[in-house]
Every structure is written in C-alpha cells, then in structure tokens.
Amino acid sequence: MKTSDKPAVLGGKPFFEEVVPIVRPPLKERIDAILADYRQILESGMVTNFDYVKKLEKAVANYCEVSRCVATGNCTSGLILTLKALGLKNGEVLIPSFTFPATAHAIYWSGLKTRLVDCESETFNINTGDLVEKITDKSKVIMPVHVFGNPCSIESVIDIAEDRGLKVIFDSAHAFGAKYQMKPIGQFGDAEVFSGSPTKAFTTVEGGLVATNNEEIAKKVEIGRNYGQTGDYNCQMPGLSARMSELHAAVGLNLLPYVDRDIRKRNQIASKYKRELGKLAGVRFQEITPNSLSTYKDFGILINKDEFGLSRDELAIALEKENIMTRKYFYPPIHMQDCYPELKAEENVFPNTDKIANNVLCLPIFSELTDEKVNGITEAITKIHTHAREIKTELHRQASTHKKE
C-alpha cells in the first residue's frame, strides 16, 4: 500500500498497489474441504441434483425455519418458477424500480407484466405508500426486494397483500442470513428466493434457493426445474433446465456453518465505514430497517455533490485511480433500462429511485476484507474529499481534452 500527499487522479501514487475488489466469495479457508467433496462427487458420477443438493435443501430449510427449500440453477430461474407455480395466466407483478434487472427479467419470462413502485429514500426498499397507489385490478403479486440485504417492511407489505388478496414473493437474492424482527429471512410471504451467486454473503458460486412453507409451490418448482417433468418425460408444465449441480451444493454445504460469522464481519466493516466516512460532508448511508439485521451484500454511500465537492461518478473515477473497485448499484434502475421501453418513465415519476440511483456508490465489502484495507479505503476517500476542487478541475480538463481529440 502506497500513499502520497496527492490523490492518484492528481498524479500521486495509488493508495493500493493491487486492486481491492468490490467483493470476494469466502472460499479460502474451506478450499480443501470443498475439493474433497468434489472428488467424491466426481467419482460417484452423480453430478447434478442428487445427494448434496438434497442435503443443502434440508440444511437451508432448517436455517430459515421453513418446511421446504428447493435448489435451482440460479435465483432468476427460481423466481420464474415460483411465479409460474402460482398458476397465473396474466396480471401484474409489483416490484421496486430500484433493483437489479433480474427481478424484472423473471416477471418477463414468467409471462406476466411488471408494475413499478418507487423506493424509500432512507432504506432504499419498496415504498409501501407508493405501493398502495400502484395496485390495480390487474395486480396479482407483490415482489419486494431486500435491497443490499436490508429487510424491507415485511409486515406492512403482507398486510397490504392480505387486504387486497395478492400473493407475496420476496426477491431475497441479497438477504440470505438477514433477519426481520430477529426472525430469519426466508419464512415470509408465499415464498422467498435467494441467490447463491459469488457476490452474496452466502454463496454456492452459482445457484438459487426457493424457501417456502407452501408445499404446492415447492412441488411445482421441483418439477419446473427439471423441464417440467417428474421422471417419465411427460411434462406437467413448460419447465426449465434449472437444476443445481452437486458441485455448487457442496460449496454451499461447506460455507453454511460460517454464514452468521461472515455476516457479522460485514456488519463490522459497515460500522467502520459509517464511523469514518460519516465525518465527511455530503456522505449519507442506507438506513437499516428497525429491529433487523442486514447482510450488507453491498455497502452503498450516497453522495451529495454540492456538499462533497464531487459527483458520484467523479468519486468513482478517483477511486479507480487508487485501485479501489466500486459499483453503481443500481444504475440505471428498471424504469431507465433500454430493454424495457414500455416501462421507461420521465424524471420525478420515481423521485426517490432517481435520487438514489444517480448518487449511490458501493464500496468493497466482503468477510475477508482486512481492517487495513478498510482503513485505506476510508483514508483514500477522505483524501479525495480534501482535494475535491482540484480533482473536479482536473477531470473537467481531461474531459475537454478528450472531446477535442
């Protein structure tokens, strides 16, 4: 790690000699155990949806305190199959516009329509006031997202759904290991669907997990993940090739005992970020839902450019020069995605979503991130803040030069 008086964007040495990644799956200490399981799986010849998958499903169901868990190839296929399991032929699914595109993609591939809702400016989660306003006679399902692993207002969402006869499926992609009113996420609504991709606090490297107390949903997802057939090749539904491999399940089984520890570590990192960066003008943080535990799948800071001295995008450029990786989650939001022209909206239709999406920057966070690197990241941002005026001038100069060329 090298430092100098000036930020790297102004010609100083980068704070880090090597790039600090935005995330890294917590695999290092379990590699030998995982490889031993891989040998056993490969020698058996049973590599997909067999003993390890069954063990993982049982372990996750116990962890989430639900009766059933069904493993899928990824979270998106899990969401598609869960929506299909409801047996709806048409209708709208209400989701926040501030979410990863896969939330909307799942609705598209299930054959239903998307209805977008604004988010809360504090928690980044679905705004229940706007949700009520958006419900119509076409509404069939509410599909909230626990953004960055921060549980949404589950009780309010379920009350709204029950009053209007709607189903609730939680896109819990970020939230395995989170708690709402100190109960494990996974046991709420008609079903919850987790992601096991490498960016998550709990990972199967790739994969999805559908948690539910609804036996009918579980059975239909089980059938649907195997092309829609039960073994006789007479398909009961138009299914998907969405089975989880034994290799991915083995990763999950080896990491599950450590998930609570890893989430505690992420929360400690988040606390350190808040303590140090909260001293800077123009920096704000996502508020965690009361009496809840976030996984901090992502740690986002909101930048007020007038107070901080730089825009979110300018800060991202400056941090890249320091070898600190960042991400603009979620930009663009769903109502600005090119693939959904029918959902595109003018400014201020989703005011909270626009403000967050245009100003949020996610910093590195993962359980193996050292205190030294966290301190370095906060020092680098503090230095950039101190030199904000010079950096803005330099970036404008570079942009003008590039434009002339």
Whole-number pLDDT of residue 399 = 85
Lowest-pLDDT range, 329-338, 343-352, 370-379?
343-352
Phi, psi for residue 187 in degrees, rounded to 5: -105, 10
pLDDT in tens, 131-156: 999 999 999 999 999 999 999 999 99
Q: Which amino acid is at 202?
A: F
- Residue 172: CB atoms within 10 A of its CB come to 31
Please check the confidence at residue 186 and state whether its pLDDT lies above 70.
Answer: yes
Whole-number pLDDT of residue 348 = 83
Residue 1 lies in a domain: no
DSSP state of 20: B
- Tell me: do 120 and 145 sit in the same domain: yes
Task: Round to whole Å and give the CA distance between 61 and 70.
Answer: 9
SS3 3: coil
pLDDT grade for 404, boundaries at 50, 70 and 90: low
pLDDT in tens, 204-250: 999 999 999 999 999 999 999 999 999 999 999 999 999 999 999 99
- Tell me: do 211 and 246 sit in the same domain: yes
- Tell me: do 284 and 238 sit in the same domain: no
Single out the residue of 103, 271, 249 nearest to residue 172, CA to CA.
103
- Tell me: do 16 and 135 sit in the same domain: no
SS3 328: coil
Q: Are 217 and 86 in contact (CB under 8 A)?
A: yes
pLDDT in tens, 40-78: 999 999 999 999 999 999 999 999 999 999 999 999 999
pLDDT in tens, 249-277: 999 999 999 999 999 999 999 999 999 99
Residue 3 lies in a domain: no
Please check the confidence at residue 324 and state whether its pLDDT lies above 90.
Answer: yes
Residue 110 sits in a domain of what CATH number? 3.40.640.10
Whole-number pLDDT of residue 280 = 98
pLDDT in tens, 94-125: 999 999 999 999 999 999 999 999 999 999 99
- Tell me: do 246 and 148 sit in the same domain: yes
Q: Are 386 and 379 in contact (CB under 8 A)?
A: no
Q: Which amino acid is at 137?
A: D
pLDDT in tens, 127-137: 999 999 999 99
Q: Is 229 exposed, middle or buried (0-12, 13-18, 19+ CB in 10 A)?
A: middle
- Tell me: do 156 and 299 sit in the same domain: no
Residue 313 sits in a domain of what CATH number? 3.90.1150.10
Range of the domain at 278: 8-23+259-404
- Tell me: do 87 and 104 sit in the same domain: yes
- Tell me: do 109 and 19 sit in the same domain: no
Residue 62 lies in a domain: yes
Task: Round to whole Å and give the CA distance between 196 and 74.
Answer: 7
Whole-number pLDDT of residue 400 = 81
Number of domains, the chain: 2
Q: Are 225 and 70 in contact (CB under 8 A)?
A: yes
- The answer for residues whose C-beta is within 8 angstroms of residue 193's C-beta and 6 or more apart is 75, 78, 79, 82, 169, 170, 171, 172, 173, 208, 209, 210, 211
- Tell me: do 253 and 263 sit in the same domain: no
- Tell me: do 322 and 193 sit in the same domain: no
Please check the confidence at residue 3 and state whether its pLDDT lies above 90.
Answer: no
Whole-number pLDDT of residue 5 = 84
Please check the confidence at residue 180 and state whether its pLDDT lies above 90.
Answer: yes
- Tell me: do 211 and 228 sit in the same domain: yes
Tokens describing residue 131 = 């949700």
Percent of the chain with pLDDT over 70: 98
Single out the residue of 253, 234, 238 nearest to residue 71, CA to CA.
253
Please check the confidence at residue 374 and state whether its pLDDT lies above 50.
Answer: yes
pLDDT in tens, 21-30: 999 999 999 9
Residue 115 lies in a domain: yes
Task: Round to whole Å and give the CA distance between 263 and 371.
Answer: 15
- The answer for residues whose C-beta is within 8 angstroms of residue 36's C-beta and 6 or more apart is none
- Tell me: do 190 and 299 sit in the same domain: no
Whole-number pLDDT of residue 347 = 80
Whole-number pLDDT of residue 1 = 43
Residue 189 lies in a domain: yes
pLDDT in tens, 275-321: 999 999 999 999 999 999 999 999 999 999 999 999 999 999 999 99
Whole-number pLDDT of residue 4 = 64
Instruction: Please provide the average confidence, as pLDDT, over all residues in the chain.
Output: 96
For residue 141, list its beta bridge partners.
93, 167
Task: Round to whole Å and give the CA distance between 8 and 152.
Answer: 39
Residue 106 lies in a domain: yes
For the whole model, what pTM was predicted?
A: 0.96
Please check the confidence at residue 2 and state whether its pLDDT lies above 50.
Answer: no
Task: Round to whole Å and give the CA distance between 10 and 112.
Answer: 50
Domain boundary among 257, 274, 299: 257
